[in-house]
Amino acid sequence: MAEGLSGSLAQLPLPDLLKMLGAGGQTGRLELTSGLDSGDIYLAAGAVVHAESGPHWGEQAFMRLVGWPNGQFRFESGDEPPERTIDKPLDALVAESVRAAGERDAMRRVIPSMDTLARLSRKAPGPVVTIEAADWEVLALIDGHVSAGEIGTLLGVDDYEAVRRLYRLRMAGLIELATPQAPAAAPARQLAGPQFFQAFTTAVAAALGPLAEIIIDDAVEDLGFTRSTLPRDAIASLAERVSTEIRDTDKRVRFQQTMLAMLRQPAA
Amino acid sequence: MEKGLDQINAVPGVGGSFLCDNRGDVIVSSDPAVLATVTMNTIGREVGRAFVALETAGQKASRIEFAYDTWRLLALDIGDAVLFVVCQPDASMAMVRMSADVAIGGWQTDSAARKRLERHRAERRALVNSTQLDQGSWSSWAVIASR
């Protein structure tokens, strides 16, 4: 009997498993797991009568589950369905699922991410354009800056439905899609470098004597850097920090003058 | 003294600077002035009182930085006067402060600058009285002074 039947969907694809259970006239719950995802398909006398997966129920849940390329299954014979949400024959359900999976792949190729931006086509696809009411709602939102994800949110539909509507409009030639430009990487911060530290040590030593190296290292560390990572734009803060250690006013002013002159030099 | 302000004003992001005596009168200002004279007077007087209040409250400060959305104001107490530097928000404040220190150091060793400051000398504490302050500020001052 099918009681205790379990295995891998990679070895026994779900459509084949359902056909096998259907041919045996089984009643029970087929528990499916894939990573953190899970779902159940209920059979009654060999017919699929209910499916649930996360927030999805009925055919929508079935199509979602049947699209899993891998995962684990376990059949609990005798479990009664909590309700009946599916009344299509298994062959029709599987055929519909295959068609939906193909459509999903096609949509994914056209709209690879929910960040995809849509804008109206500059040229009409033909002399007469017919639009479904649901698609008009999408068109009304398109301004060239709104993303597929934002369209879904604004319409109150899930990502799949938002993508489906955008795909339909794209196929009808009414909109154009673009991948958002990634923000330019921030330019690398220029480092102070060993030449700076050489000149800096000389200036600090003139004001503070032989403890210069230790004072510099402490100040650099206080700023959250090392000598090899200190950026050029942190030199002023470093100089100011060290200048507070110089008690003699004349020496401090001379040191600050030296540092200001150094800071005003253009970066090498 | 003008030369000292010029050095401060040469720091990128500095819009101008001025020096006020403790009454709020402008001793010297960058040219062109960064603010209207009456504004510099008001800032000078009020910040001078703030330094007195902080000292009286046992929190003596020699520097106050005001950060606003579109500009920053650095106020440095030099005893007989307060030096103000008006900057853009992204100015390197470390450079501004060091430049101000250098300018102040120069004035302290310049006899002409010292004489000019002495002519403006006014005891700050004497300027904090009931005739100079509104009722609320005077009440607050009385609380601080009684501590």
- Reading chain B (147 residues) residue by residue, the pLDDT tens digits are 888 999 999 999 999 999 998 888 899 998 777 788 888 888 998 898 888 888 888 888 999 999 888 889 999 999 889 999 999 998 999 999 999 999 999 998 888 888 888 887 777 767 677 677 777 777 777 777 776
Contact state of A252 with B105 under an 8 Å Cβ cutoff: yes
Question: Does residue A19 have a pLDDT over 60?
Answer: yes
Q: Is A236 on the interface with B (CB under 8 A)?
A: yes
Q: Are A120 and A69 within one domain? A: no
User: Distance between CA A39 and CA A22 in Å, rounded?
Assistant: 19
SS3 A24: coil
Closest by CA to A159, choosing from A223, A215, A113, is: A113
Q: Are A98 and A121 within one domain? A: no
Q: Is B108 on the interface with A (CB under 8 A)?
A: yes
Which domains does chain B carry? 2-135 (3.30.450.30)
pLDDT band at residue A1 using 50, 70 and 90 as cut-offs: very low
Residues from chain B that touch A239, judged by Cβ atoms under 8 A, are: 94, 98
The whole-model pTM stands at 0.53
In degrees and rounded to multiples of 5, residue A187 shows phi and psi of: -65, 145
Q: What are the C-alpha distances in Å from B119 to residues B37, B106, B125?
A: 19, 18, 18
Q: Are A14 and A101 within one domain? A: yes
Q: Is B105 on the interface with A (CB under 8 A)?
A: yes
Q: How many CA atoms lie within 13 A of A75 on its CB side?
A: 24
- Of A144, A178, A212, which marks where a domain is finished? A178
Q: How many CA atoms lie within 13 A of A46 on its CB side?
A: 8
- Contact call for residues B145 and B130 (beta carbons, < 8 A): no
Contact state of A259 with B98 under an 8 Å Cβ cutoff: yes
**Structural domain includes residue A230:** yes
Range of the domain at A124: 111-178
Contact state of B95 with A260 under an 8 Å Cβ cutoff: yes
Q: How many CA atoms lie within 13 A of A220 on its CB side?
A: 21
User: What's the total number of domains in chain A?
Assistant: 3
- Of A72, A106, A140, which marks where a domain is finished? A106
